[in-house]
Amino acid sequence: MDWTVTGYSYDVTVAVVHQTDVHKVLGILSGVQLSGMRISENYYSDSRVQAKLTTMVDEDESDGYVKNARLRIILSIPSRFWSKTLFTGYVSDVDTVIESGYCKKSYTLEGTIWGLLEHKVSSPVTISKGVSLVSTWNTLMRTQTKMQYSASGAKDHLMGSTAIYEAGSNLSTILFELSSGYDRMDVDGDGTVTLKEYLSPANRTPTRVIDYKDSLGLSMAPLSAQDTSYEAPGRAIVTATVTEQDAKDENKTTTKVIVGAYDAPSSHATSIETRGWLRARSDAYSGTNDKPTKSELDKIAKDNWEDNQSKGIEWTVNTVYADYHAGEVVNLVAPYISSGKTEYTHKVLISAVETSLDTLTQSLTMKEV
């Protein structure tokens, strides 16, 4: 699809989707208002995606929504035979206003993963050492939810030690921890929860180019760049509370706190030698080993430090709609003065996208990787 060609007529359809079967459409929402209709994606948020839409019908009519059903937003360009499902999600809130003979309903929509964030297990969940974690992820999705899911393309690994989650634990916590470091849990436009092998943005090949200097391109002024390197930590700390049985009294247990830490090398921009002061971040251990060692925590601290280092530039730009989505890695062509010279090509991750369907524009937040 050539998005640089403008003037296409487009249609937006909102389908009413079955509560537990994303493949079953119950009807089409009527009275949909494009004004204020938007989809918000964020690569780093747990819920991944949200949406807002409004309907307006005569006060004695229904807009066709079915209680507890999901809503699906579909964008199509009939003249180009192009159509795409942009979002399918649960309704988390409905505000209704009746005035002057009309009924106006404002829907707040959440992506499918939001249901996992709200879900708590009713009994303890034990994940034994040596089990396949992809298989366990599939089992939890099958037994705990009525969602469609797919682990196609996931990287399997075996549990290094037994993990026990108490009754009342969030299902999302268990599922995210199972996939952490190996796979990424996400949701597609149809509302299916996916598990795929994680590849860091820095190691991915850009899929396309956003050229801010191209007068015939997609971007619109202004373009902003914020240097966030000042927020990067120079020290990372990870703590874990470990419970052990007393060697002399089997009925007695003791607890101790194990601390792992990592400091930036002295030549690094975030080190105390360079800054003259030290910014630190502290995290509680969230892994599956119930008795992590200090060396393990030191490694996690180093990983946390590295994960929070970047070139430090966060870009924001508005574009005409071009089917951009959070998680894409692209090359951004734009001038920026760094280290005394002007750089033009920047490899960036699209970390957030705000799609406005009334104007058919997208606001992109991009992070250098």
Structural domain boundaries in the chain: 11-111, 116-197, 201-228+311-368, 231-307
Q: Which two tokens stand for residue 93?
A: 């809130």
> How would CATH label the architecture of 201-228+311-368?
Beta Barrel (2.40)
How do 209-211 and 329-338 pair as beta strands? parallel
What are the structure tokens assigned to 226, written together? 């914020």
Q: What is the pLDDT of residue 71?
A: 98
| Each residue's pLDDT tens digit, 342-356 | 778 889 999 999 999
**What is the Cα–Cα distance from 347 to 351, expressed in whole angstroms?**
12
Strands (E), 205-252: 209-211, 219-227, 235-245
Q: What pLDDT, on the 0 to 100 scale, is given for residue 170?
A: 92
Over residues 216-234, mean pLDDT = 79
**Which of 9-23, 235-249, 328-342 bottoms out in mean pLDDT, i.e. has the lowest?**
328-342
> What's CA 37's distance to the chain center, in Å?
20
Count of other CB atoms within 10 angstroms of residue 335: 11
Give pLDDT tens digits for 69-123. 999 999 999 888 899 999 999 999 999 999 999 999 999 999 999 999 999 999 9
**In Å, what is the CA distance from 243 to each residue of 16, 204, 286, 291?**
50, 41, 15, 8
Its pTM stands at: 0.80
- pLDDT tens for 156-166 read 989 888 888 99
Q: What is the pLDDT of residues 153-193, one digit of tens each?
A: 999 989 888 888 999 999 999 999 888 878 999 999 999 99
Give residue-wise pLDDT tens across range 296-349. 999 999 999 988 886 678 899 999 899 999 999 999 988 776 655 677 888 999
pLDDT digit string, tens, across residues 68-79: 999 999 999 988
What is the Cα–Cα distance from 336 to 348, expressed in whole angstroms?
14
pLDDT of residue 216: 57
Return the CATH number of 116-197, one of 1.20.1070, 1.10.3470, 2.60.40, 3.55.50: 3.55.50
Q: What's the CA angle centered on 209, arms 34 and 52, to 5 degrees?
A: 20
Residue 358 has pLDDT above 60, yes or no: yes
Residues ≥6 apart with Cβ < 8 Å to 51: 37, 38, 39, 40, 71, 73, 87, 89, 109
Tokens 């391109």: give the residue. Answer: 217
The confidence score (pLDDT) of residue 337 equals 63
- 201-228+311-368 and 116-197 share a CATH fold: no
**Percent of the chain scoring above 90 in pLDDT:** 70
